[in-house]
Amino acid sequence: MSARQPILQVKNVRVHFPVPKSRDWPWEPMPMLKAVDGVSFDLYAGETLGIVGESGCGKSTLARALIGLVKTQSGEILWQNQNLVGCDDKTFRAVRKDIQMIFQDPLASLNPRMTIGDIIAEPLRNYYPNMPRDEIRQQVRQMMDRVGLLPNVINRYPHEFSGGQCQRVGIARALILKPKLVICDEPVSALDVSIQAQVVNLLKELQEAMGLSLVFIAHDLSVVKHISDRVLVMYLGNEAELATEDELYSNPRHPYTRALLSAVPLPDPDKEKGKQIELLEGDLPSPISPPSGCVFRTRCPIALASCAESKPDTVILNDSQHRVACLRADFTPC
């Protein structure tokens, strides 16, 4: 894979938000919330990159930075070698057609005053204002069929549908422009387990049929394992570990990754009863004042005194497909 040219390159991206609050002196700097604090990865054509981590680790903020919904303070986001950070609106609008997003809340992401036909057609009307209405309607019906929606519901409103059906509408809207990259921001977290499986399988089918690249964000590591080629683990806005799906789940090297994987329930009751769960002590630190050095050290069971001195460099293990940001990446638990 390394011999191919990535379609998306994210280099040391940082997204910080000012936090207004009372200050003792007016010249004191305003505190900054470090939502994303130096994340890098590449994405290849047809690949799915899973992004996991607990709530507050910066997954959704990173997704919104990729699509331009939040401002990036520093770093580079290269789409087919074109830097999107700081580019003008006209340039970004042309690129935006190829990068679409599926949101977490299926119903809240749809306009309740528009029919689903109009919702799906809106991107076409936006980018192709001269397209005939009959052609728009034909493309909308075709896309509805691809995502499993009956054509006779085209004039209904979002509140008439279940959560899974609303998410299919959101998927149809994201794919109607035939993008190259779709960012999925926890698209199944609000759905029942059986519906989750249907939506994930639908995304995999559409990816293969349309040649899509996916960035798939989720809390459920079982779902991420099912759909991802590689997985990025984030903690408090930082990259903890990046590896192929097989390598990460069979040989996790960061203590945070091991803790996350130990909490995943196993389908075999005997194995579930006998497995050892690595519990994390304490709460997630504040991203306004993160710990010095390694941000995970305050909850890490194998932290050293040196972990507080400086942010750990990314260590490449075995090959370029496995990266770990940890001073003790060679540690093997008993």
* Tens of pLDDT, residues 116-166: 999 999 999 999 999 999 999 999 999 999 999 998 999 999 999 998 999
- pLDDT score for 64: 94
- pLDDT score for 55: 87
- pLDDT score for 24: 65
Q: What is the four-CA torsion angle of 60, 61, 63, 66, rounded to 10 degrees?
A: 180
Residue type, 46: G
The Cα–Cα gap between 286 and 280 comes to 16
For residues 59 and 234, the answer to whether their CB atoms sit within 8 Å is yes
The Cα–Cα gap between 98 and 82 comes to 13
Task: Provide the 8-state DSSP code for 229.
Answer: S
Report, as ranges of residue numbers, the positions in the chain whose pLDDT lies below 70.
Answer: 1-3, 22-27, 268, 271-272, 274, 319-320, 332-334
- Token pair listed for 111: 């306009």
- pLDDT score for 315: 87
HSE-up (13 A, CA, CB side) for residue 15? 26
- pLDDT score for 1: 44
- pLDDT score for 236: 94
- pLDDT score for 13: 96
- pLDDT score for 22: 63
- pLDDT score for 332: 66
Q: Spell out a b/e string for 13-46, using b for 16 or more CB atoms within 10 Å of the CB, else e.
A: bbbbeeeeeeeeeeeeeebbbbbbbbbbbbbbeb
The Cα–Cα gap between 276 and 294 comes to 25
- pLDDT score for 4: 77
- Token pair listed for 162: 């279940």
Burial of 322 from C-beta contacts in 10 A (0-12 / 13-18 / 19+)? buried
For residues 37 and 237, the answer to whether their CB atoms sit within 8 Å is yes
Chain position carrying tokens 């992401």:
109
What percentage of the chain exceeds 70 in pLDDT? 94
The Cα–Cα gap between 207 and 199 comes to 12
| CA-based torsion, 153, 157, 159, 163: positive or negative | positive
- pLDDT score for 333: 63
- Token pair listed for 251: 């040989």
- pLDDT score for 2: 46
Residue type, 318: N
